[in-house]
Structure 1
Amino acid sequence: MPKIILSSDGSHTLISDEFNVTYHSSHGSIQESNTVFIHAGLDHLLSLGYEKISVFEMGFGSGLNALMAYLWAVEHGCEVQYTGIEAYPIVPEMAGQLNYIEVLNADDEARIIFQKMHTETNFKTPVFQFNKVIGFVENFDVKEEFDVIFYDAFAPSSQDHLWEKDILQLMFGALKNKGILVTYCAKGAFKRTLKDVGFKIEALSGPVGKREMTRAVKGDF
C-alpha cells in the first residue's frame, strides 16, 4: 500500500511501495499539477478558444489532477470531459486521508466529487464528466478522441516502457488533430521518441524543482 507524505507546498503525495517513487513532486504536489497540467494544458487550450475540453490522464493515481481539472472547470465554466486510467488504484480510505481539499481551500461539493472519483467509475456534473478505467494503458486504444493528454506515469527510471514508442504511438492516435500532450518529463530520449511518433515539441519552464517540462502537439503549432 502506498504511504502518504507531505510535499514542500504542504500538500500530500504518495510513495509507491512497488516502484519506490512518489506520485507527485516532493517539491509540491499541487504546484506541479497546476504548472504542468492546468496551466500548460487546460489554460493553454482555453486561450485558443476551446469551450469544451476532453482530457485523458495516463496515470490517475491520487486523483489530484482530476480534482484540479474539476475545480478549473467550475471556475472557468468550461465543460471538461475527463477520462483517467489507472492500473494500481488506491483505496477510497486512503484517498480520504489526502489533504488536497484543505490545502486548496475547496468547498464541500469538491470534497464529495473527490470522494466519488475514488468510489465510482463514472459520473457527471453540469461542467465535468468523469470516467475512470481500471487497467493497463496497453489495452486502451481509442482514436482521435481527446484534446489533451495529462501524461503522468511514473518516471522512466521506474516504468521505462510507458515512455517508449509503442505507448506514445497510442497516445498520438488518441489525440484529435491539434491535440496536446503535457508532462513533467523533459528527458532527451523521451522527446526524441515523441518526435519519431509525429509530435512537435515545445520545451516549457517546469514546476519548482525542474528546469523544463514538455508540451507535445499533434500537428502544427
Structure 2
Amino acid sequence: MLKREIKLTEDGSHTIFIPELNEHYHSTHGAIQEAIHVYINAGLHFSDKNPICILEIGFGTGLNAYLTLVEAENNKRSIVYHSLERYPIDEEQLKVLNYPDQIDFENKDLFKKLHQVEWNRTCEISANFRLNKINGDLKKIDFKDKYDLIYFDAFAPDIQPDLWTEGIFKKLYECTNPNAILVTYCSKGIVKRALRSSGFEVKRLAGPPGKHHILRATKIENSKF
C-alpha cells in the first residue's frame, strides 16, 4: 500500500495525497466544490431519473457518495449507489476527514455509516439511499446491474492509463440504460476520443475553479453500439 497523507484544499475541505504518485484524490483548489460541480451539478442534477441507479468508479474518501446521500435526503430522491474501489482507505484516516462539518448536513452520522457498512453487499444507509461498496478491479469485474449515471473518478490518465481506454468505456456503456450519462473531471483529448469510440456522445462543460473543462457523456438510444 502506498503512503497516504491528509491535506487541506483551498475551500477548507480535506483530500488525500499520495507522495509516491504525486497525486491528490481531489482538486487542491477545493475538494467539495469540485465534487459538487462535476458529479452533483453536471451529473445528478442533470438526470431526472427517480429512482436512479448510480455507479461510481473510485469510492475513495466517500465524498461523492456523501454528497449524493445528502441530495437524496434533502430531495427525497430514491438512489441506489454502487461504488467500486480497489484500495479502501485506512479507517483511522477516514475519522479525520472534515466533510460532514464542511457540508453542514444535520445527519452527520450518515457519513460514518457510509464507511462502516460491509463491503460487497447492499446496505440501507437511509430510507432514500442504498449503498453497495464493491472491493474490486474495474478491469476484471463483471457488472450485473444497469446504471443511469456513472461518476468516473479514477486517478488521472497519467497515473492509471489503463482505466481511461476505449475498452473500459465500452464496458461501462454496456452496463448503462438508454440515455444514461457519465461525468468525469478529466477532459483530455484521449478521454474524449475513447468515450466517443465506445458509443457515447460527449460534451465539454466549464470546469470548477482551477480546471478549464470537464466532460459529460450521454448514451444515445439509437447509437450503433
Which residue of structure 2 aligns with residue 12 of structure 1? Answer: 14
Deviation of 1:138 (Å): 1.3
Separation of aligned partners in 1, 2:13 and 2:148: 28
**1:188-203 to 2 correspondence within 5 Å?**
188-203=189-204
Query: Whole-Å Cα distance in 1 between the matches of residues 38 and 72 of structure 2?
Result: 16
Counterpart CA distance in 1 for 2:218 and 2:153 is: 17
Matches within 5 A, 1:36-55: 36-46=38-48, 50-55=49-54
Q: Which residue of 1 aligns with 2:181?
A: 180
Runs of 4+ in 1 over 4 A off after TM superposition: none
The size of the alignment, in residue pairs, is 216
TM-fit CA distance, 1:141:
2.0
Q: Deviations over 1:8-44 (max 9, x none)?
A: 1000000124533000000100000000000011101
Q: Is the 8 A contact 1:144 1:176 kept in 2?
A: no
- Kept in 2: contact 1:147–1:180 (CA 8 A): yes
Quote how far apart the aligned CAs of 1:51 are.
1.8
Shift of 1:75: 1.0
Q: Percent identity?
A: 38
> What does residue range 158-173 of structure 1 map to in structure 2 within 5 Å?
158-173=159-174
Question: Structure 1: which 5+ runs fail to align?
Answer: none
Cα root mean square deviation, aligned:
1.5
Q: Structure 1 residue 214: deviation in Å?
A: 0.2
Residue 192 of structure 2: SS of its match in structure 1? helix
Is the CA contact 1:143–1:173 (under 8 Å) kept in the aligned structure 2? no
Deviation readout 1:122-162 (Å, 9 max, x if unpaired)? 42121000000011111222266100000000000111111
Higher percent of residues as helix? 1
Q: TM-score, normalised by structure 1?
A: 0.93
Unaligned runs of 5+ in 2: none
SS in structure 1 opposite 2:214? Answer: strand
Q: Please, what TM-score do these two structures have when normalized by structure 2?
A: 0.92
Aligned to 2:65: 66
**Residues 59 and 83, structure 2, Cα contact 8 Å, conserved in 1:** yes
Does the 8 A contact of 2:167 with 2:198 survive in 1?
no
Match of 1:3 in 2: 5
Structure-1 residue corresponding to 2:113: 116
Q: What is the deviation of 1:94?
A: 1.1
Aligned mates of 2:111, 2:79 — CA distance in 1: 15
